[in-house]
Structure 1
Amino acid sequence: MRRSSATLPALFSAVLLSVVLGLAGCGGSQNSGGGLPSPLRVGVIPNISPDRQRAQYEPFRAYLADRLKTDVELFVATNYAGVVAALVAGKLDVAYLGGLTMVQAEAQTKLVPLVTEVDRETGTPEYLSAIVVKDASPYKSTKDVVGAGGRFAFGDVSSTSGSLYPRVMITDAGARCDTGDLTRCPPLASVAFTGGHDAAAQAVLSGTVDAAGLELRILHRLEKQGSVPRGALRVVETRQVMGYPWVASDRLAQPVRQAVTDAFLAIKDPKLLDLMRAKRYVAVSDADYQEVRQQASRLGLLTALKGQ
């Protein structure tokens, strides 16, 4: 379950090769004269298992195709790096990223943030990253987990709410995560990457780790679905995170980017908004993600993930 930082460049190279080969047969979208590409290629990070993510976003794919009057192809990678690789390779026009994933990607290709969702729980464009423990755990705070040398789990290494902000919380509580190895944050006994928010929750539930960082609204969804018993996990700390940005490649003409933005802003169907965890959508700019850049740089994540 644990990834060492030494394996990250090799992992990314393999992911990049598989993405390029897998998407090479899709053909390039045509964007001459500023017209809509056909197909419009849309990528989504897998904040839950890829198969479930693909099924969840099928109604959105159909909506976008109907609204824009063009074919839309949906691509869900097996991990966050896969979507970044596809963007860098020029195989995607629009993508749904976490803030950290966007910052990671923009170091390799030019991106334009378009919109983010207004969170149904907070009522704002920000949502919550949380550190959770088992309800029966003696830990009452993040400082308790760090001070006791607990075992900690993140989700995907490139996740904003499952990696970056939990790392902010544990370092603020006294952990040293400046070791040059993403899997070492003494005095924590161990640090592991589970690959997803749902897997991080299960790691705490099973007792594999003592605490984990994840997106709070995903935990609530897992409880609603019955994947995690209600009350089995207890939140010891939260931090606000700027919402997941939908971004466009700057290769996409500005009128097309505006048409895509307008399509998001026009979503009114309650069922579609519910599927996408949104109350509504609002436009965002590059400046909205400056804190993510600063925190990622401060914690060495951009250096560690460079060339991943």
Structure 2
Amino acid sequence: MKKIVKTLAALSLIATAGATFAQDVLRVSAIPDEAPTELQRKFAPLGAYLEKELGVKVEFVPVTDYASVVTALTSDKIDLAWLGGFTYVQAKQRGKVTPLVQREEDSRFTSKFIASTASGAQSLKDLKGKTFAFGSASSTSGHLMPRYFMQKQGIKPETHFKNVAYSGAHDATVAWVASGKVDGGVLNSSVWDKLNEAGKVDASKVKLIGTTPTYYDYNWTVRSNLDAKLQKKLAAAFLKLDAKKPEDKEILELQRATRFIPTRPNNYKGIETAAREAGLLK
């Protein structure tokens, strides 16, 4: 009898281990704030790491624009998404989502204002009557927060600049300014630093003319009805990434992170306020 009980207990443990989560594929996406090939390159090592930590297949689901990520997450088409602060606020308005972790850097994020050297501009005021580019209309660091801080300075983009355009992505904004398509633009500090480190910014054509105050930005967010155990394991996987370990260092460097830290909805109250004041959120 004892042998039968032990056997049943063992089988129960095996069954439980094999059915820890209700799903066997974790569908992940990200706002397309950079070129699709770059997003895939950045995610590949992280995806492999998460598969190992979670014991489930991790599948990256590319999208064409910011709105598509919000729609996919709030309609249960994806499980986990890399969102900007503004897209998180938009997702929270449309459905039940939970912000899990953010990079430590995202608690003090900034945007960079740039101008073509040909414009002769040294500041935003010098770009009056010239052309300007934001990133995506739904971008926190490429549109919302820069617009918010500009308006605090008394600069209304639609009247200050000759024309306002949207490049769709941070790296595209730099390319537009460098090519002379626009006289100035704004992008997030992380991409600006990365492009400079990679030698992809021609200093003879593009220059930095300003930096915004700090604000909260990016985070990894899950749909709230994702298996609770899986949510906890996901957060733990991000939090234990350690830059001192060579295998983790590569992942963190690609994510432009020193480490990940927990985050919470209240961190993004400021962004929600900025969006309402800028007329971008009802």
TM-score (normalizing by structure 1): 0.79
1:40 equivalent in structure 2: 26
Of the three residues 82, 89, 103, the one matched with 2:68 is: 82
Deviations along 1:68-127, whole A, 9 cap, x unmatched?
Answer: 1111111121221121121122111111100011111111111111100123xxxx7322
Deviations along 1:252-305, whole A, 9 cap, x unmatched?
Answer: 1332211111010011211111011110000000001111000001001124xx
| Equivalent residue runs for 1:186-265 within 5 Å | 186-230=159-203, 232-239=205-212, 240-265=214-239
Aligned equivalents of 1:105 and 1:129: distance in 2? 22
Bigger radius of gyration: 2
How many pairs align? 258
- CA change 1:300–1:137 in 2 (3 A) is same
Q: Which amino acid aligns with 1:47?
A: D
Q: Which amino acid aligns with 1:215?
A: N
- Checking the alignment, whether the CA contact within 8 Å between 1:39 and 1:72 is kept in structure 2 is yes
2:15 equivalent in structure 1: none
SS at match of 1:186: helix
Aligned equivalents of 1:117 and 1:85: distance in 2? 24
2:253 equivalent in structure 1: 274
Q: Does residue 159 in structure 1 map to residue 139 in structure 2?
A: yes
Q: Which amino acid aligns with 1:168?
A: Y
Give 1:37 shift: 2.5
1:12 equivalent in structure 2: none
- Checking the alignment, whether the CA contact within 8 Å between 2:178 and 2:202 is kept in structure 1 is no
State the identity %: 34
Aligned equivalents of 1:241 and 1:203: distance in 2? 26
Aligned equivalents of 2:34 and 2:132: distance in 1? 19
Structure holding more helix per residue: 2
> Which stretch of structure 1 is more off in the superposition, 257-266 or 37-46?
37-46
Root-mean-square deviation (CA, aligned residues, Å) is: 1.8
Aligned equivalents of 2:95 and 2:36: distance in 1? 24
Give 1:136 shift: 4.8
- Checking the alignment, whether the CA contact within 8 Å between 2:74 and 2:97 is kept in structure 1 is no
Deviations along 1:232-262, whole A, 9 cap, x unmatched?
Answer: 4222221223131111111113322111110
